[in-house]
Amino acid sequence: MPEFVDAGAGRITSVPTDARARHDLAVQRLAESYAAIPQHAPVRLAKKTSNLFRARASTDQPGLDVSLLDRVISVDPEARTADVQGMCTYEHLVEATLPHGLAPLVVPQLKTITLGGAVTGLGIESTSFRSGLPHESVLEMDILTGAGEIVTARPEGEHADLFHGFPNSYGTLGYATRLRIALEPVDDYVALRHVRFHDLESLVATMGDICQTGQHEGQGVDYLDGVVFSATESYLTLGTKTAQPGPVSDYTGQDIYYRSIQHDSPLPKVDRLTTHDYLWRWDTDWFWCSRAFGAQRPRVRRLWPRRYRRSSFYWKLIALDHRFAIADRLEARKGLPPRERVVQDIEVPLGRTAEFVHWFLREIPIEPIWLCPVRSRGQWPLYPLKPGETYVNVGFWSSVPKTPGEPDGAANRLIEEQVTALDGHKSLYSDAFYDQDQFWRLYGGDTYAELKRRYDPQSRLLDLYSKAVQRK
């Protein structure tokens, strides 16, 4: 067995190579590290990366030891399931399933998103119009609760309340150590059609038809998302699984995926990617956010090492900016005000999507905007989307100038008000400004309170409002 250095104690121990034995050791380490944290000290995960964009508490206390919870335990090709540790990234999960011709039902866009993070927080992608959200393909979970116990939660049974209440709890009820998820067959390639629209109403109507029928102009659609560049230039990208070999595009080099979507033709622009490259088409340039670092300028791009063209590296640059206020310092040198971060994903009902996007384009100077339809398939108290109703996730990730005299988070507050007015829902991975009464009305307050009493009776973990809004 290989040696493993325990970073907390400095001791060297052996780690089993057998996946199940290794997992058992990982869970033991996690439970021990949880028990070692003083009763009233903050609890956090000891992890190097994060996809959260809200402020997190600083603490000198050691975090939970999740160092061995980052792998796929097993893949069952016949049952089309996988047992996966909670800190396993989708990059590693896909590496394990694609050789079997399988993939998770929903693969979020960024490689370092973890399965546990997507289930307890946000995960969405172009299969969500038919497969919902990542937690809806979970068959069972082992969860370390706030009470320090490991419980197995399934759709029915003793801990069914935790199973259904865990999504959107963001680690405030516990942490998933193992998840069994359903997988679906995939082909080697994805054929793409980029369809241009000159008005948002037509795009939304077409999106709704595809969500209902699973096809467009007689051809099946397996993947569906869209990009809005302006009120008069927007696109739906329709993906279809195919085993037919042929030339494929590569957007990990000089070419940039989201720019490849744009065209002036009345006919769809076609493209092909390997399934692997399709799943990660957004990661190379973090959608379009890499432009903030100059990574889309041809001269810079040629010198930018390919291994650093990925979301995890851009996130490190963002972290440096947050730490040293680099962007605000540069703005100040130009005589410009500091900027407010507007990094959000929201969902509004399909029928209100054009209304919201028109409002957003008028009020918030950010473009492009990502669109992704989603249909929830069940009841999730903390993720209150109506089952069977089509919503559209609208993603926007940038910043806007702050206006002197306006309250902190003015643009974000305006967005929250508009989303609520349109019967929408806002994800909690980024800044939120709700007051407590409104927050608990929107995010399952009574159900959450009961779950908190049962699974974290000593309140060792922050509650959801404290973690998502107060940012202690």
pLDDT digits (tens, 9 = 90+) for 22-40: 999 999 999 999 888 888 7
- pLDDT score for 11: 42
- pLDDT category, 472, cuts 50, 70, 90? very low
Residues 6+ apart with CB under 8 A from 256: 284, 285, 296
**DSSP states of 96-164:** HHGGGTEEES---SSTT-BHHHHHHS----TTHHHH--GGGGEEEEEEEETTS-EEEE-SSSTTHHHHH
**CB atoms near residue 250 (< 10 Å):** 12
Answer whether residue 349 shows pLDDT above 70: yes
Residue among 36, 12, 40 at smallest CA distance from 460: 40
What is the rounded average pLDDT of the residues 194-201? 98
Residue among 283, 271, 415, 276 at smallest CA distance from 343: 415
For the 325-433 domain, the top CATH level (class) is: alpha beta
For the stretch 201-245, pLDDT in tens is: 999 999 999 999 999 999 999 999 999 999 999 999 999 999 999
What is the rounded average pLDDT of the residues 172-188? 97
Answer whether residue 290 shows pLDDT above 60: yes
> Do the Cβ atoms of 370 and 395 come closer than 8 Å?
yes
Is 3-186+462-470 assigned to CATH 1.20.1050.10? no
Residue 323's φ and ψ, nearest 5 degrees, are: -70, -40
230 bridge partner residues = 233
In the chain, the largest separation of any two C-alpha atoms, in whole Å, equals: 65
Residue 252's φ and ψ, nearest 5 degrees, are: -100, -5
What is the rounded average pLDDT of the residues 125-134? 97
Sorted by where each begins, the domain ranges of the chain are 3-186+462-470, 189-281, 325-433
Residue with tokens 């507007």: 342
Q: Token pair for residue 434?
A: 């709700």
Q: In b/e form, how buried is each residue of 90-125, taking b as 16+ CB within 10 angstroms?
A: bbbbbebbbebbbbbbbbbbbbbbbbbbbbbbbbbb
Answer whether residue 315 shows pLDDT above 90: no
Element (H, E) at 76: strand 72-76
**Omega cis (within 30) before 338:** no
- pLDDT category, 6, cuts 50, 70, 90? very low
What is the rounded average pLDDT of the residues 261-281? 97
Annotate 389-400 with three-state secondary structure.
Answer: CEEEEEEEEEEE
% of the chain residues with pLDDT over 90: 78
Q: Token pair for residue 193?
A: 């059609």
